[in-house]
Structure 1
Amino acid sequence: MGLFTVDQARAELAHLMPVLDELVALRADAAELASSLSPGGRPTALGGMPEWKAAQARLDELMTLVQETGAELKGFAPLLIDFPADLDGVPVLLCWLEGDQELGWYHRDDLGFAGRRRLGN
Structure 2
Amino acid sequence: MEERGSPVHLETVHHCASARLVVACPVNYYLLPVLHKYFTLDQANRTLPLVRRIVADITALYPAWRDLVYRYELASAQARPEQGESPEQLAVRAEIDGVARRINSYLQELEQIGCVFKGFEAGLVDFYGKLDGRDIFWCWKQGEDRIDHWHDLESGFAGRQPIPAVVGGGGAA
Per the shorter chain, which TM-score range? Answer: 0.7 to 0.9
The corresponding residue for 2:108 is: 64
Amino acid at match of 2:97: K
> CA offsets per residue over residues 70-106 of structure 1, 9 Å max, x none?
1112333333211111123232110113343431110
Asked which structure has the greater RCO (Cα within 8 Å, sep 6+), the reply is: 2
Amino acid at match of 1:109: L
CA contact (8 A) 2:58 2:120 kept: no
The corresponding residue for 2:66 is: 31
Deviation at 1:49, TM superposition (A): 2.8
SS in 2 for 1:102: coil
The structure number with the bigger radius of gyration is: 2
The corresponding residue for 1:95 is: 139
Q: Distance in 1 between matches of 2:69 and 2:159?
A: 34
The corresponding residue for 1:19 is: 54
Consecutive unaligned residues of structure 2, counting only runs of 5 or more, are 4-36, 78-90, 169-173
The corresponding residue for 1:77 is: 121
When residues 98 and 17 of structure 1 are mapped into structure 2, their CA distance, relative to the original with a 3 A threshold, is closer
Consecutive unaligned residues of structure 1, counting only runs of 5 or more, are 42-46
TM-score (norm 1): 0.80
Q: Distance in 2 between matches of 1:101 and 1:33?
A: 32
How many matched pairs? 116
